Amino acid sequence: MPAAAIEFQNVTKVYRRMFREEQVTALSCVSFEAGAGEVCAFLGPNGAGKTTSIGLLMGFHFADSGEIRVLGCTPGDVRAKEKIGFLPENFAFYKYLTAPKLLRFHLALAGNRSAEAAARIPELLAKVRLAGYEEMKIGKYSRGMVQRLGLAQAFLGDPQLLILDEPTSGLDPAGRKEILELLLALKAQGKTVFLSSHILPEVEQICDRIVIIDRGRLLRAGRLQEMLSTGDRVELVADRITEEIEQAAAACGAVVERGPHGVRIVLDAARKREMAEALWNGGCDVVSINPVKSSLEEVFLKVVEHGEGGA
Amino acid sequence: MKVRAIALNTFAGFLRNKLIVLFLAVFVGILLLFLTPLLAMKAMSGPAAAQMESPVLTLVGALMTMISGFGSLLAAWSAADTVADEMKSGTILAVMARPVRRWEFLLGKYLGVQLLMAVYVLFMFGFSYLLTWIGGERIQTTPWVLIAYPLVRYAIYSAISMFLVTMMHPVMAFGLVLVTSILTFMVSPGARPPAFLPGPLRAIVYTLLPSTELLSESRFLTITQTSLEKITWDVHAITLSYGLDYALVCFLLAVWSFRRRSLSRD
């Protein structure tokens, strides 16, 4: 793996109520890494601890134990924050500002006085499809427009690391596609992207690494390709199938689907030879045999349902 | 640059804060109502006018005290609200994601409040002169005293409020500042009744709490030359330094308390 841009080592975070016994463990001994130049998806059901983890990463909260490093610094260190673009979940803005004023305010906060950076603001707004709304107060923006503005401010100043909490939330399908294309362009530029999302098919298109947590525990972390190739199922395509073979296949747990280009049979890898021979003996022609790759959604659901652990 | 940007943005936020604008509007309305008897008095002439001089002076004094007292409440509320609102709305997250240190954020917020209070003091200053002019009198005090003293007093109240809001709900913080200011009056040497607390305890509380009586511009806000209190420069310097030092200590306590504060929305 490339040098880690983000490191979590046995991080535990417990929320305690003042004057009450009640406490909630948001994170329990969570460890994972995201390499520089990678797009890493941080996945988990609602309440899994994703936003808490991102808050710890940004220095908004403090871990009870464990160690976190962001670009080699401790969370909240201004040297790291200079290189980070951040989009929080449900981004909130000063409603009385306009988009260019907000971006100029953020440039001032970044200590960036260059005229070049200020001149790039219209370009950035055009990139997130907000050109033409420069005079409108942010308070009058729709949810999707606010989200796009949030992305524009995260992209401001050409950050090395992007931390995005639900970046496509509130966007229409066309908007989501555009954001994914923007993220792919950033990936091509060698930027590190750490994002949380519930829209797994989109995540699958752009991510190199996946981290799955649930109820504050790390369930799985690793490269996307390794996670998707399960290796225990195969897909066998034949030109036709007899009723007798279909019944036998169904009896041993295979899934048979008829399509315009033949019959697709998905079954355990251990039974592929037996099935192929049965098809040949029955006078059917086997067109192809390929290992089945699970979708990220399937892997995610399986991992979360089984509460699988380990990295 | 960062602190300046936060301060100016905070000030801009105040000008659009509906609650603050509403309070100011109600307050201006009350002031205009009080102006009526003054204007009526101005219209009188002869013995009737001379007879009204004393009540007018009392009214002018009461109005000025009211404006000044309202400023303290405004300073405390705006300081508590500006920090709490950033956390409640979540706008603080985008700000703190930038290379801004926590103390820089707090200092920007504090300076934004002081900017608001400076505008308020200038308004108060102008209104005081207007009132005395309508009442047919003239303020004898040096103008800078009427600006510097309330500014320092408001700096103290806003710093206390900012410290408290780093630990509790803004309404609670505001309430505590209110209690503090009432307690300050009750334990001051000239308070009535004098035996509010046992002597030594009263002295301790008086020492710990900010002496707003000492920093009150009403000490100098004299309309008649006969009651004008003569104070030398060194006394002014020491009194104002005391106030600024108190505000600084409270602000540093706020910075200390805020450094490990979770920036969550609740």
ipTM at complex level = 0.82
Whether A309 shows a pLDDT value over 60: the answer reads no
pLDDT for position B154: 92
Whether B46 shows a pLDDT value over 70: the answer reads no
Residues 6+ apart with CB under 8 A from A66: A8, A9, A10, A11, A12, A29, A30, A31
| Residue pairs spanning A and B at CB distance below 8 A | 76
Distance, in Å, from the CA atom of A296 to the CA atom of A207, rounded to the nearest integer, reads: 10
Residues from chain A that touch B100, judged by Cβ atoms under 8 A, are 78, 81, 109
Pairing relationship of beta strands A192-196 and A161-165 according to DSSP bridges: parallel
pLDDT for position A95: 87
Evaluate whether B155 touches B243 at the Cβ level (below 8 Å).
yes
For B210, phi then psi, to 5°, come to -70, 135
Distance, in Å, from the CA atom of A85 to the CA atom of A76, rounded to the nearest integer, reads: 13
Burial class of residue B22 in the structure, from the number of CB atoms within 10 Å of its CB (0-12 exposed, 13-18 middle, 19+ buried): exposed
Give the angle A241-A244-A249 at the CA atoms, nearest 5°: 75
Mean pLDDT over A114-138 rounds to: 87
In chain A the first and final C-alpha atoms are separated, in Å, by: 14
Q: Do B16 and A96 touch (CB under 8 A)?
A: yes
Q: Do A109 and B93 touch (CB under 8 A)?
A: no
Concatenated DSSP letters of B56-109: HHHHHHHHHHHHHHHHHHHHHHHHHHHHHHHHHHSHHHHHHTSS--HHHHHHHH
**Res. A311 pLDDT band, cuts 50 70 90:** very low
pLDDT for position B157: 93
Mean pLDDT over A146-157 rounds to: 90
- Cα–Cα separations (whole angstroms), residue B141 to B122, B145, B198, B218: 15, 7, 37, 10
Whether A35 shows a pLDDT value over 50: the answer reads yes
Residues from chain A that touch B98, judged by Cβ atoms under 8 A, are 81, 106, 109-110
Does residue B5 belong to the interface with chain A, where contact is any CB pair within 8 Å?
Answer: yes
Q: Residue A136 half-sphere exposure, CB side, CA atoms within 13 Å?
A: 13
pLDDT for position B223: 54
Distance, in Å, from the CA atom of B172 to the CA atom of B165, rounded to the nearest integer, reads: 8
Whether A2 shows a pLDDT value over 60: the answer reads no
pLDDT for position B229: 57
Does residue B16 belong to the interface with chain A, where contact is any CB pair within 8 Å?
Answer: yes
Mean pLDDT over B232-239 rounds to: 83
Residues from chain A that touch B96, judged by Cβ atoms under 8 A, are 58-60
When CB atoms are compared, the residue of A60, A82, A113 closest to B99 is A82
Q: What is the dihedral of CA B168, B170, B174, B180, to 10 degrees?
A: 10
Residues from chain A that touch B97, judged by Cβ atoms under 8 A, are 58, 81, 84, 86, 88
Does residue A60 belong to the interface with chain B, where contact is any CB pair within 8 Å?
Answer: yes
- Cα–Cα separations (whole angstroms), residue B9 to A97, B56, B96, B114: 9, 41, 14, 13
**3.20.20.70, 3.30.70.100, 3.40.30.120, 3.20.10.10: which CATH number matches A231-292?**
3.30.70.100
Whether B10 shows a pLDDT value over 90: the answer reads yes
Whether A193 shows a pLDDT value over 90: the answer reads yes
For A117, phi then psi, to 5°, come to -65, -40
- Cα–Cα separations (whole angstroms), residue A157 to A33, A112, A210, B82, B230: 25, 8, 27, 27, 58
Q: Do A92 and B95 touch (CB under 8 A)?
A: no
> What percentage of chain A exceeds 90 in pLDDT?
26
Tokens of B148: 């510097």
Asked which of A65-69, A196-200, A307-311, B59-63 is least confident by mean pLDDT, the reply is A307-311
> What percentage of chain A exceeds 70 in pLDDT?
95
Distance, in Å, from the CA atom of B28 to the CA atom of B50, rounded to the nearest integer, reads: 28
When CB atoms are compared, the residue of A96, A109, A110 closest to B12 is A96
Residues 6+ apart with CB under 8 A from A231: A269, A291
Maximum average pLDDT range among A152-161, A223-232, B110-119: B110-119
Distance from CA of B220 to the nearest CA of A (A): 40
Mean pLDDT over A199-210 rounds to: 85
When CB atoms are compared, the residue of A94, A108, A111 closest to B13 is A94
* Residue located via tokens 């009461």: B62
Q: Do A60 and B96 touch (CB under 8 A)?
A: yes
**Res. A194 pLDDT band, cuts 50 70 90:** very high
Q: Which of A155, A220, A144, A219 is nearest to A193 (CA)?
A: A155
Whether A154 shows a pLDDT value over 80: the answer reads yes
Mean pLDDT over A145-150 rounds to: 89
Residues from chain B that touch A96, judged by Cβ atoms under 8 A, are 12-13, 16
* Residue located via tokens 């039974």: A271
Q: What is the overall mean pLDDT for chain B? A: 82
Give the angle B138-B141-B146 at the CA atoms, nearest 5°: 110
Distance from CA of B230 to the nearest CA of A (A): 47
The 10s digit of each residue's pLDDT in A238-260 is 888 888 888 888 887 888 888 87
Q: Do B264 and A81 touch (CB under 8 A)?
A: no
Tell me how long chain B is: 266
Distance, in Å, from the CA atom of A265 to the CA atom of A276, rounded to the nearest integer, reads: 10
Distance, in Å, from the CA atom of A47 to the CA atom of A216, rounded to the nearest integer, reads: 8
The CATH 3.30.70.100 domain(s) of chain A lie at 231-292
Give the three-class secondary structure for B196: coil
The 10s digit of each residue's pLDDT in A158-171 is 899 999 998 888 78
The 10s digit of each residue's pLDDT in B152-196 is 999 999 999 999 999 988 899 999 998 888 888 777 776 666 566
Does residue B172 belong to the interface with chain A, where contact is any CB pair within 8 Å?
Answer: no
Whether A176 shows a pLDDT value over 50: the answer reads yes
Q: Residue B80 half-sphere exposure, CB side, CA atoms within 13 Å?
A: 24
Evaluate whether B218 touches B60 at the Cβ level (below 8 Å).
no
**Whole-structure pTM value:** 0.83
Distance, in Å, from the CA atom of A91 to the CA atom of A108, rounded to the nearest integer, reads: 19
Burial class of residue B19 in the structure, from the number of CB atoms within 10 Å of its CB (0-12 exposed, 13-18 middle, 19+ buried): exposed
Mean pLDDT over B65-82 rounds to: 88
